[in-house]
Homo-oligomer: A and B are copies of this chain.
Amino acid sequence: MGEIRNKDGLTEEEFLKQYKPSKYERPSVTVDMLILCMSRYLDNLKVLLIQRKNHPYINCWALAGGFVGIYESTYDAACRELQEETGLVTNTYLEQLYTMSNPDRDPRMRVIDVAYITLMREQPVLAGDDAKKALWFDISLHDDILELKNEEENINIKYCLHKKIFKNGVVDTTGYTQESITDEKLAFDHNEIILEGLLRLKNKILYSDIAFNLLPEEFTLPDVKRVYEVILGKELYKSNFNANIKSKLISTDCKITSMIKGGKKAAGYKYKGQ
Contacts and interface: CB of A to CB of B under 8 A. Distances in A.
A56 B94 CA distance: 32
A250 to B, nearest CB: 13
Interface stretch (A96-104, A136-144, A152-160, A258-266): A96-104
Contacts of A93: 168-171
A73 B103 CA distance: 6
A169 B99 contact: no
A58 B12 contact: yes
Interface residues of A, number: 63
Interface string A9-31: 01110011001010011111100
Main secondary structure of the interface of A (DSSP, over half): loop
Number of copies: 2
A112 B58 CA distance: 29
Contacts of A53: 6-7
A239 interface: no
Name the 6 nearest CB pairs between A and B, nearest first: A93-B169, A15-B55, A21-B109, A74-B101, A169-B213, A26-B26
Given A169-B210, A169-B213, 18 more contacts: A4-B59, A12-B56, A16-B107, A21-B28, A21-B108, A27-B29, A29-B112, A68-B112, A70-B110, A71-B103, A74-B112, A75-B101, A94-B168, A95-B168, A96-B99, A99-B114, A170-B273, A171-B209
